[in-house]
């Protein structure tokens, strides 16, 4: 994966004069018009078109961009995203496969399927 330089971050509109708040930085990555989420793909299991609601922290370049922008190492970026999840700004899900990282989404996207199923049955926990 190519490195993302500070000049590239400035071109992307990520605060060339001052640092964005973490919530604003995450909001930019989760905005469909910026191309990290909202991409259409074909669901092989159902054969239907779906849109992504999350992005991969490593493959999207988020970890590297966040580290450059806030001058953090990998552990610092992980701590930052964990803190953002604890504050309810984002939702983090582990990924499977060969690339390490997590999928990051808005806290309202991709809710628990188990709770949804129980709600349909009228058995949702209160």
Distances in whole angstroms, Cα of residue 5 to Cα of each of 11, 77, 101: 10, 17, 21
The pLDDT score that the predictor gives to residue 99 is 78
User: What is the rounded average pLDDT of the residues 65-91?
Assistant: 90
Radius of gyration of the chain (CA): 16
The pLDDT score that the predictor gives to residue 17 is 46
What value does the mean pLDDT of the chain take? 78
pTM of this prediction?
Answer: 0.66
The pLDDT score that the predictor gives to residue 1 is 35
Q: How far apart are the first and last CA of the chain?
A: 45
Nearest to 100 by CA among 63, 54, 65, 51: 63
**For residue 104, what are the β-bridge partners?**
55, 92
pLDDT (tens digit per residue) in 93-121: 988 877 788 999 988 875 556 566 667 77
**Long-range contacts made by residues 106-115, C-beta under 8 angstroms, separation at least 24?**
106/30, 106/53, 109/53, 109/54, 110/53, 110/54
Residue 58: CB atoms within 10 A of its CB come to 16
Residues 61, 56: Cα–Cα separation, whole Å? 8
pLDDT surpasses 80 at 84: yes
- Determine what percent of the chain is predicted with pLDDT higher than 90: 12
The pLDDT score that the predictor gives to residue 126 is 56
């Amino acid at each position: 994966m190519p490195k993302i330089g500070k000049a590239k971050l400035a071109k992307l509109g990520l605060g060339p004069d001052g640092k964005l708040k973490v919530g604003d930085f995450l909001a930019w990555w989760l905005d469909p018009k910026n191309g990290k989420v909202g991409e259409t793909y074909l669901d092989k299991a159902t054969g239907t078109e779906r849109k992504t609601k999350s992005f991969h922290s490593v493959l999207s370049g988020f970890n590297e961009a966040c580290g450059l922008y806030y001058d953090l190492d990998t552990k610092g970026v992980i701590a930052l995203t964990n803190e953002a999840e604890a504050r309810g700004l984002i939702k983090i899900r582990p990924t499977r496969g060969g690339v390490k990282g997590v999928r990051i989404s808005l806290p309202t996207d991709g809710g628990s399927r188990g709770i949804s199923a129980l709600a349909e049955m009228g058995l949702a926990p209160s």
